[in-house]
Each structure stands twice: as C-alpha cells, then as structure tokens.
C-alpha cells in the first residue's frame, strides 16, 4: 500500500511539473523542515533500541556503555574528517548514505554478496547521482551554502567528484535493473513494485528541485519505511511507537522554530554556523547509517547462540 501511495504521489508531482508548475524554494525548505521533524528525525532517533536489542544479549547491562561510546566515537571521527579532509569526507558521506538507502530499500533478500553492496550504492544513490548529472549547478549552490569555502574545499569540487561517481554507479544500477527484469521474466513473476518506483524516482530527481525531490524520497519513502521497520522489529504498537518518537519530533520542531525565529529576526546565518549545523547533522547520521547497515547484514542469533556468545565474552 505504501509503495502504491508513494508512486501515485510521484506520478502526480511529475504530471504537475510537466504542466509547468514550479515550486517556490522557500516552500520546499519549510515543507522539508516539517517533514524531517515529524518523520525524518524519529526514524533515526531510536537507534538505542536497536543497539540494546543486539548488544544486551552479549554484554548484558553494559550494552549502553558499549553502544554510546561506539556511536559517539564514530560521530567524532566524522567531525575530524570534515576538518582534516572535507572533500573526501563529503564523498564518503555520499557513498555511505547511498549504501544505506539502497540496503534498506532492497526487496530481493539477497545479502552478503559483493554485487548486492554495489547495487545498493548504485540504486540507493540515485537521489545523489541523478541530480549531480542533471542539476549540477543547483547541487553546487546547496553544497556551497552548507559546506562553505572556509573548509578548504568548495561545492564545485564535491560536485565534480560526485559526477565521476555518477558515471560509475549509474551503469551498475542499469545492469542491476536488467538482472531484476531478466529474473522476473525467466521465472514468470509479476512486475516488482521496485522497478516502477525507481523509474519514477529517476524522473523525479531529474526534473524537480533537489530539496523537494530529496525531501519527498527521504521522508515520504525511506523514513516511513524505517518507522514501520522499527515498529515491527521492536514489536511495538502504533501507539507505543508514537509515544516513543514524540519527544524527538517535539525537540526537532522546537529547534526548527528557534531557527525560523533566528532568520525572521533579520539575522544572517554565518558560514561558521551553517558549517557547524551541517557537520553536526552528518556526524549524527553516519553512526545511524552504519548501525542499520551492519545490523542488516548480520544473521539473527537464536537464544542458545546468544547464551554461548555471552559466555565466551565473559
């Protein structure tokens, strides 16, 4: 049902774009901020539940120390990377994000193969590769706002390297698409929803503003699936999930409101502040991406396996 609704929304948006409708950038920013507060932040804000689920059977009550120390260490490493090597940190951030998007959205069930990881980066990174090729100037303007020149690199340099990566990964995405179609035809299977969705996403990423297309994909597809996965993974009712993520949404809305007041007061967002905000967000995002990516590749342990692992650690 979610796939059908999302594809219908994408089709409607593309139809309106074809009729010449344009979206005000301010509207994009406001809509993206609201959607991120309500859906984007909560979908990644309960990582401690995942950490507890996987670490508590192994290290018992010490799981929180192990989880948070590792989580914060990765975040600190990302911050250091932005300062010491901003260009390559940005590229690695793109690659890890693409892998996470593709891995989380994979519906084939294929794991632990090199090709699966490459295909995940290729298909999950369409939200990056397509805009880099079709809307490079727009991407550069966005990057130059969030990654100021004071970081010893420029948005243009990041876009240039991203375009090279796009020409590498797009053929992989096309080949993976062909494999899926061939498998579907050979087994006489019905068309996979993923095929239609990815085709619509390619058109969306190429023809609409980056902030709009990214917001629609990230909040309307990826984050909602993430919340649904959290509910299923932790066996929570919708009410329990709502109350679990409510503080995160309220906190994000409060910060967004404070930022709106800051801008509406006639103040300017300095390069240092914009850099700090972007570095902070990416530093929080990377541990989340790695956590769910790594956990997704691990086989589930049965109870007796957990007891054995706990005994070995002790």
What distances in angstroms separate CA 84 from CA 92, 94, 153, 281, 284, one per listed residue?
A: 14, 17, 11, 18, 18
Mean pLDDT calculated for residue range 164-177: 93
Position 26 scores a pLDDT of 66
Give 240-296 pLDDT, tens digit per residue: 777 777 776 676 666 666 655 655 555 555 555 556 667 777 887 888 888 876 665
Q: Which residues contact 174 (CB under 8 A, 6 or more apart)?
A: none
Q: What is the mean pLDDT of residues 174-184?
A: 85
Q: What is the pLDDT of residue 130?
A: 96
Confidence of residue 71 (pLDDT cuts 50, 70, 90): confident
| More reliable by pLDDT, 124 or 58 | 124
Q: How far apart are CA 219 and CA 37, in angstroms?
A: 10
Question: Given this model, what pLDDT does residue 100 score?
Answer: 87
pLDDT at residue 309 greater than cutoff 60: no
Mean pLDDT of 103-121: 72
- On average, the pLDDT of the chain sits at 78
Q: Where are the alpha helices (DSSP H) in the chain?
A: 2-18, 25-35, 41-44, 47-59, 63-84, 86-105, 114-124, 126-134, 136-146, 155-186, 193-207, 210-217, 224-233, 238-264, 271-297, 303-313
**pLDDT of the residue at 183:** 79
Token pair of 172 as six digits: 């992989």
Task: Report domain extents, the chain.
Answer: 2-11+63-235+268-313
Q: What local confidence, expressed as pLDDT, does residue 54 receive?
A: 79
Distance of alpha carbon 139 from its chain centroid, rounded? 17
What is the pTM for the complete model shown? 0.80
Query: What is the number of other CB atoms lying within 10 angstroms of the CB of residue 245?
Result: 19
User: Mean pLDDT over residues 78-86, rounded?
Assistant: 83
Q: In this prediction, what percent of the chain has a pLDDT beyond 90?
A: 15
């Amino acid at each position: 049902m979610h796939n059908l609704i999302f594809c219908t929304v994408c089709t409607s948006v593309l139809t309106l774009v074809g009729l010449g409708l344009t979206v005000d950038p301010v509207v994009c920013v406001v809509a993206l901020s609201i959607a991120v507060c309500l859906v984007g932040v909560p979908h990644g804000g309960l990582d401690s539940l995942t950490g507890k689920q996987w670490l508590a059977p192994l290290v018992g009550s010490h799981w929180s120390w192990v989880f948070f120390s590792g989580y914060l260490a990765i975040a600190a490493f990302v911050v250091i990377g932005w300062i010491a090597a901003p260009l390559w940190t940005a590229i690695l951030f793109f690659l890890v994000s693409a892998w996470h998007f593709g891995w989380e959205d994979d519906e084939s069930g294929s794991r632990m193969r090199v090709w699966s990881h490459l295909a995940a980066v290729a298909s999950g990174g369409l939200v990056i590769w397509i805009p880099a090729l079709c809307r490079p100037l727009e991407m550069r303007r966005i990057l130059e706002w969030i990654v100021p020149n004071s970081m010893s690199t420029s948005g243009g340099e990041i876009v240039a390297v991203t375009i090279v990566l796009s020409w590498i990964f797009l053929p992989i995405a096309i080949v993976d698409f062909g494999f899926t179609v061939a498998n579907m035809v050979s087994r006489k299977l019905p068309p996979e929803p993923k095929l239609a969705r990815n085709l619509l996403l390619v058109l969306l990423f190429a023809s609409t503003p980056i902030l709009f297309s990214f917001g629609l994909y990230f909040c309307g597809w990826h984050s909602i699936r993430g919340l649904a996965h959290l509910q299923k993974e932790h066996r929570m009712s919708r009410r329990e999930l709502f109350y679990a993520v409510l503080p995160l949404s309220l906190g994000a809305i409060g910060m967004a409101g404070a930022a709106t007041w800051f801008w509406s007061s006639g103040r300017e967002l300095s390069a240092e502040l914009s850099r700090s905000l972007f570095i902070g967000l990416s530093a929080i995002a990377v541990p989340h991406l790695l956590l769910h990516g790594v956990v997704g590749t691990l086989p589930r342990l049965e109870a007796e396996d957990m007891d054995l692992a706990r005994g070995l650690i002790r």
